[in-house]
Amino acid sequence: MAVRVVVGTQWGDEGKGKYIDMLAKESDLVVRFSGGNNAGHTIVADGVKYALHLIPSGILHKGRTCIIGNGVVVDPAVLLKEMEDLSQRGISTEKLLISDRAHVIMPYHKLLDELQEGQRGTANLGTTKRGIGPAYADKTERCGIRMCDFIDPEQFAAKVNENLVIKNQIIEKVYGGKGFSADSIIEEYSGYVKLLKKHVTDVNSIISDAIEEGKNILFEGAQATFLDLDFGTYPFVTSSNPVAGGVCTGAGIGPTYIDEIFGVLKAYTSRVGTGPFPTEQNNEIGDTIRELGWEYGTTTGRPRRCGWLDTVMIRYSARVNGLTALAINHVDTIGKLDKIKLCTSYRKDGEVIRNFPASLKELAKCEPIYEEFDNWVEDISSIRKFEDLPANAKKYLKRIEELVGVKIGLIGVGKDREQTIRI
Ligand code: GDP
Ligand code: IMO
Ligand code: MG
């Protein structure tokens, strides 16, 4: 049996979906533990593309039990649409389970996300405007609505009415927006309950039984370490804990049960949304990476900011997540550049530093120190053994391992789930 976790080590979109899908084949249970439909995971299976936002990427493998854990925030309309889209493509979501403790994204969360971003003006966080932040804020404020309340008409009506007293005042008096009618929300959501009720259950006991029975469980990370509320580039982060520790609180298992933690990274770096990015190439190099790697958001379609791989970040991720292996993608993409740069450390106030600072003011003073590598232009997408990679690619990958101090377990040489080297 194995309990595995897949997490992002950068700012998201590292290609987690591809590996989750691959490892799901060997798992009985696939569990999402954080975030919501701010995530966008792309899987290309036998040339067919799928984009998943809320449903665990394991759904593409028949017979896997897919679970949305308590740490996830769920927009019922989005979930139903995703279920419908999958079933139209012949993929069953019958075995999808949702934690009765997961919080529900409400219409006022989405409106508030938008109004708050508008209010921040040029200092906006570049959120996905899916209501993620306001839903998690309500969770900690202790006025959130959980799945167990959502499926109980009396509780749901009481909580919606109670919440709207405050939410409508904030929307109308602070932001000058238009508030909501409790009745229309209750009516809309009661339609969703009819379709989702049978999927809502105490998933925590299912996960713990599976551990006891020695089953293979895969915890699917969304977002990434540098978007983590505690460890990311705060405040330019999301509102949950996508790091490996989030598995314990977002699915309800003890840390001692986890066997392997895969940290996914790209052979370069990308970021969507605002916030610091030390190795960003806001120039022709960044544009070339974007076009070669097709770096456009899976969720919002926004062009992603691109730059060189930063091993200061990956070292920090290795530590914070306790990574047991690295999974590196887009080795095919980066090889096509004329010269490749790898950030090994930063120079700040005349000193060489190897740690990622908490203060964004300090981070702004950090200048990346690079090593330069020769490229590999040949098509590597059909290579399945590390030894068969071009010498320059092997040199680049070995240096990453050395700088990060964690072995590479998986190498992505193309979009398709088969285009992977497993070490
Ligand atoms: P996730 O959110 O971490 O699952 O990643 P996304 O799906 O948002 O973004 C990753 C993008 O890179 C997707 O378009 C993938 O199809 C693509 N991708 C993943 N791995 C590779 C790879 O090794 N090579 C290439 N060329 N594309 C890849
Ligand atoms: P996956 O799982 C990339 C970013 C948003 C924004 C910040 C806060 O596909 O890797 P939010 O809507 O969460 O309040 O936005 O976080 N963000 C992501 N960026 N990939 C993601 O998920 C992201 N989820 C959130 O762009 O900068
Ligand atoms: Mg993504």
CATH number, domain of 295, equals: 3.90.170.10
Range of the domain at 409: 266-422
Residue 329 near residue 15 (C-beta atoms within 8 A): yes
Written as six digits, the tokens of 216 are 């293979």
Residue 296 near residue 40 (C-beta atoms within 8 A): no
270 and 253 inside one domain: no
Verify whether ligand 1 is closer than 6 Å to residue 220 (CB atom).
no
Ligand 3 centroid–CA 12 distance in Å is 6
Encode pLDDT of 162-210 as tens digits: 999 999 999 999 999 999 999 999 999 999 999 999 999 999 999 999 9
Q: State how many domains the chain has.
A: 3
Q: What is the pTM of this model?
A: 0.97
Ligand 2 centroid–CA 128 distance in Å is 6
Distance of CA 2 to CAs 157, 189, 248, 320, 409, Å?
A: 42, 38, 16, 21, 16
Cβ neighbours, 10 Å, residue 181: 11
Cβ neighbours, 10 Å, residue 325: 16
279 and 372 inside one domain: yes
Instruction: Using CA atoms of 268, 271, 277, 280 in order, give the dihedral in degrees to the nearest 10.
Output: 50
Rounded to whole angstroms, the Cα distance separating 56 from 66 reads 6
SS3 for 38?
A: coil
pLDDT at 298: 79
252 and 379 inside one domain: no
Per residue of the chain (423 residues), what is the pLDDT tens digit?
A: 799 999 999 999 999 999 999 999 999 999 999 999 999 999 998 889 999 999 999 999 998 999 999 999 999 999 999 999 999 999 999 999 999 999 999 999 999 999 999 999 999 999 999 999 999 999 999 999 999 999 999 999 999 999 999 999 999 999 999 999 999 999 999 999 999 999 999 999 999 999 999 999 999 999 999 999 999 999 999 999 999 999 999 999 999 999 999 999 999 999 998 999 999 999 999 999 999 999 998 778 889 999 999 999 999 999 999 999 999 999 999 999 999 999 999 999 999 999 999 999 999 999 999 999 999 999 999 999 999 999 999 999 999 999 999 999 999 999 998 999 999
Instruction: Kindly list the catalytic residues.
Output: 13, 41
pLDDT at 356: 97
Nearest CA to ligand 2 atom 15: 127
Ligand 1 centroid–CA 134 distance in Å is 28
- Residue 352, strand partner residues: 347
Token match 């194995």: residue?
Answer: 2
Which ligand lies nearest the alpha carbon of 302? 2
151 and 276 inside one domain: no
Verify whether ligand 2 is closer than 6 Å to residue 303 (CB atom).
no
* Helix, strand counts (H, E) of the chain: 14, 20
Nearest CA to ligand 1 atom 7: 42
Contacts of 243 (CB under 8 A, 6+ apart): 7, 225, 228, 230, 231, 320, 321
166 and 91 inside one domain: no
161 and 182 inside one domain: yes
Ligand 2 centroid–CA 34 distance in Å is 12
60 and 176 inside one domain: no
379 and 398 inside one domain: yes
Rounded to whole angstroms, the Cα distance separating 366 from 357 reads 9
Nearest-atom index, ligand 2, CA of 14: 10
Tell me which of 14, 110, 223 to substitute to probe ligand 2's pocket, judged by most ligand atoms within 8 Å of the beta carbon: 223
310 and 346 inside one domain: yes
CATH number, domain of 32, equals: 3.40.440.10
Tell me which of 7, 18, 38, 317 to substitute to probe ligand 1's pocket, judged by most ligand atoms within 8 Å of the beta carbon: 18
Verify whether ligand 2 is closer than 6 Å to residue 13 (CB atom).
yes
